[in-house]
Structure 1
Amino acid sequence: MSVVEVRDIYDIEDLIKQDIINVMRNLHRRNLVSALSGNVSVRVPKTNYIWITPSGLHKAELKRDDLVKMDLNGNIVEGHHKPSTEWRFHVAIYRARPDVQAVIHSHNPAVLILDSLDIKLDPSLLIEAKYYIKGIAYVPEAEPGSEELAKYVAESVSSGINVVILRKHGVVALGKNIYEAETIAETLEDLAQFQLYTTILRHLLNK
């Protein structure tokens, strides 16, 4: 590999890390993650490596040096912190879906409310949702960070969908890049809020 190629990879990885930091701040600002909840990862293009957010650090205050580089077997390659406790389903997704370049796990409040009521999301209700959401899978309750959860998620994404809803836990959004994944996570919450409010209003008007 030439010096130019090595330099280009490092430049790309610096951009990836900054993008992760930017998106975590955006998600925190929208109340889709809290101080210590939620996680984001991005695949280094054309490699079997990812950068992922760490465990136990405030998600809106992350710095580049806080992020962790892993391979798709779950080995830490670079970084000073423990990776997110959800690293197992992140690497499982990348192994199952070579087309996925970014994964966001957020804790969308309205999505979780509807899921707790066993109300399935209907992307046809919003034009944006119809455009961005290419299928939703629902997985049963499982311990966060567990092999069981990773197995459920990997199986659910194999069909090509780009949204997974984790029972009592949150949302997983998949994208061709981190900003597409962010858009999907945010659009999903917009859809859930719209569906929740219209469901409540319909109930009140029909009383």
Structure 2
Amino acid sequence: MRKLNTRWMHPRDQITMIIDKIYRSGLTTTSGGNISIIDENGDVWVTPSAIDKGTLRPTDIVCVKSDGSIEGRHKPSSEYPFHIAIYKSRPDIKAVIHAHPPALVSFSIVREIPNTNVIPQAKHVCGPIGYAPYELPGSEELGTVIAREFDKGFNSVIMENHGTVVGGRDLSDAYQRFETMEFCARTLINGSTIGTPNYLTDEQINEFESQIPRLLPEMDEVEHPSDERAIREQIQRIVLRACDQGLMISSYGTVSVRWRGNDFLITPPNVARWDIQLKDIVQIKDGKREPGKIPSRSTWLHQEIYKRNPHVNSIILTQSPYLMAYSVTGEKMDVRTIPESWIFLQDIPNMPFGSHFAGQEAILNTLSVNTPAVIINNDSVLVTGDKLLGTFDRLEVAEFSAKSLTMGASLGKLVPINDQQVEALRKKFLS
């Protein structure tokens, strides 16, 4: 995963940027959580104590010098001692994030660790998760029990009745781990509301991770005419919008748009989705890829969808919180919640894990005008459409429907519109 290029950013600017993302994503409160970076001099830059996370500025960040002295306008976070303890225990860790994201707090108060084998990249990104027994916040004892877990090799730790703490080789790495871990926990909770989550074996995850894409040959020359550049802008806008709305996370999500004939543009792997740049997007022309770039590992699937479905001009493959509840449980999502849902989606079948691998035909044989989207078990949702904005709208409608169904399941028996009402919709809107 290519992280945000922070090489030229001062630690205080990095911290301000990431705490803002965490706060605006609803993963911490005004007063909760803290972030730090240790620099090459051994100085630790850390968020201040009792300062509004929603308005934090670079000048608010505090520096705890390697000799223990403190520089800054504020006091450092009361929990900075455990950050120091982690850095002493693990010199390879250069950034630490601690917060109280709701789903992970849920696991901490039932004293469980989320099983990341529920989706492939969760285990890959988070790694094994440690567990730190409860100690008084801000105490040396808390620093000791947390550092002990990191000393065992864990980069992610559940803090009993408290929250979570993660470390990374830089702040972008730590943030991706933090975000993915919370997403995994939320997926398990949502899935448990409607059914029973199914887990992948280590062998299945290894198969996913070791997939060697059918790498297309490179073109000799590449051109970027104005219509091609316009598509790049569309893709970038939609990816960023999906991230802002919680429909895509840093570590997963692919968007492609047909260009001319069966040529198309597609997002790359190994780029934090919220930091995607126009130049990152890969052109696929005449079965060849843009020189020097690697397209998404799902490029083969996108290519075949365009070849076999002339009506499809855009594809989004992503993980959104409530649709993933149906993905990890394999439960059938009944889109007959409200008329709009059925008109937009009609039916969303579940496809087995692995059906999105190169060379597989199941998804290709299922997608059609009347079946524009599929849920891939333990992996993602794939949505197709004409214009990219319309495809994104379809994703939103599907996610809203899944959210309504998941929330409704806690209230009582779900009662969708009936067959007669569906037939009336078919005649009025789809004839």
TM normalised by structure 2 equals 0.43
CA–CA separation in structure 2 for the residues paired with 1:95 and 1:20 = 20
Listed one character per residue, the Cα deviations across residues 35-94 of structure 1 (whole Å, up to 9, x for unaligned) are 01100000112x211100000101121112111111356x23421210001011000000
Listed one character per residue, the Cα deviations across residues 71-118 of structure 1 (whole Å, up to 9, x for unaligned) are 356x23421210001011000000000000100001111111123223
Question: 1:28 offset after TM fit, Å?
Answer: 0.2
CA–CA separation in structure 2 for the residues paired with 1:122 and 1:55 = 33
* Equivalent in the alignment of 1:22: 17
CA–CA separation in structure 2 for the residues paired with 1:79 and 1:165 = 30
Q: Which of 52, 57, 79 lines up with 2:46 in the alignment? A: 52
Deviates more, 1:114-123 or 1:98-107: 114-123
The answer as to whether partners of 1:13 and 1:44 remain within 8 angstroms in 2 is no
CA–CA separation in structure 2 for the residues paired with 1:15 and 1:24 = 14
Q: Which amino acid aligns with 1:190?
A: F
Q: Which amino acid aligns with 1:62?
A: L
CA–CA separation in structure 2 for the residues paired with 1:72 and 1:169 = 28
When the two structures are aligned, how many residues end up with a matched partner?
A: 192
Q: Which of 172, 186, 198 lines up with 2:165 in the alignment? A: 172
Q: Which amino acid aligns with 1:58?
A: D
CA–CA separation in structure 1 for the residues paired with 2:50 and 2:83 = 17
Q: Which amino acid aligns with 2:62?
A: V
Question: 1:200 offset after TM fit, Å?
Answer: 2.4
Find the residue that maps to 1:185 and give its secondary structure. helix
The answer as to whether partners of 1:103 and 1:181 remain within 8 angstroms in 2 is yes
Question: 1:14 offset after TM fit, Å?
Answer: 5.5
The answer as to whether partners of 2:113 and 2:129 remain within 8 angstroms in 1 is no
The answer as to whether partners of 1:133 and 1:184 remain within 8 angstroms in 2 is yes
Q: Which of 38, 43, 58 lines up with 2:38 in the alignment? A: 43
- Percentage identity across aligned positions? 32
CA–CA separation in structure 2 for the residues paired with 1:202 and 1:115 = 22
* Equivalent in the alignment of 1:121: 114
TM normalised by structure 1 equals 0.87
Listed one character per residue, the Cα deviations across residues 151-194 of structure 1 (whole Å, up to 9, x for unaligned) are 10111100111101111111101000101111111111100011
The answer as to whether partners of 1:55 and 1:85 remain within 8 angstroms in 2 is yes
Q: Which of 171, 185, 188 lines up with 1:192 in the alignment? A: 185
Gaps of 5+ in 1: 1-11
The answer as to whether partners of 1:72 and 1:94 remain within 8 angstroms in 2 is no
Gaps of 5+ in 2: 1-6, 197-408, 410-431
The answer as to whether partners of 2:108 and 2:162 remain within 8 angstroms in 1 is no
* Equivalent in the alignment of 1:76: 69
* Equivalent in the alignment of 2:156: 163
Q: Say which structure is richer in helix.
A: 1
Q: Which of 21, 27, 35 lines up with 1:32 in the alignment? A: 27
Over 3 Å counting, the alpha-carbon distance change for 1:181 and 1:35 in structure 2 is same
* Equivalent in the alignment of 1:87: 80
Listed one character per residue, the Cα deviations across residues 114-157 of structure 1 (whole Å, up to 9, x for unaligned) are 23223321111112211211221111111110111001011110
Q: Could you say which structure has the larger radius of gyration?
A: 2
Find the residue that maps to 1:95 and give its secondary structure. helix
The answer as to whether partners of 2:46 and 2:62 remain within 8 angstroms in 1 is yes
Find the residue that maps to 1:173 and give its secondary structure. strand
Over 3 Å counting, the alpha-carbon distance change for 1:35 and 1:13 in structure 2 is farther
Over 3 Å counting, the alpha-carbon distance change for 1:202 and 1:72 in structure 2 is farther
CA–CA separation in structure 2 for the residues paired with 1:33 and 1:13 = 27
Q: Which amino acid aligns with 1:173?
A: V
